[in-house]
Amino acid sequence: MASSGQPIDPSLKSTIESINKDVHMTIMVSLSCTMCPDLVVAAGRLASLNKHIHVDVYDLNHFTELKDKYHVMSVPCFIINDQQPEFGKKNVEQLTSLIMN
């Protein structure tokens, strides 16, 4: 049986659930990256709480066209709704803030 994951503050959970616009996150990782799993888990948690949030994760070793398209120099890298790339480890609260802006 799976757990419900890391606890999220009720007000943050309410904010995530209230997002009513379509959000698509493209996450680019490397399997050797130690920061990438935290971003992937946080994005997955957002998607699990809101049907408007969709996440795709790509290993850049297998999707070099994405690396070239977005000029990715480091991972983790993510793009929200095909906007400007963002870099670095983010938690649920930080990702929510980026989506809300």
Helix axes 92-100, 36-49, angle to 10 degrees: 60
Domains annotated on the chain, with CATH: 22-93 (3.40.30.10)
pLDDT by residue for the chain (101 residues), tens digit each? Answer: 545 666 799 999 999 999 999 999 999 999 999 999 999 999 999 999 999 999 999 999 999 999 999 999 999 999 999 999 999 999 999 999 999 98
CA dist 62 → 4, 29, 58, 81 (Å)? 31, 10, 8, 22
Q: pTM value?
A: 0.90
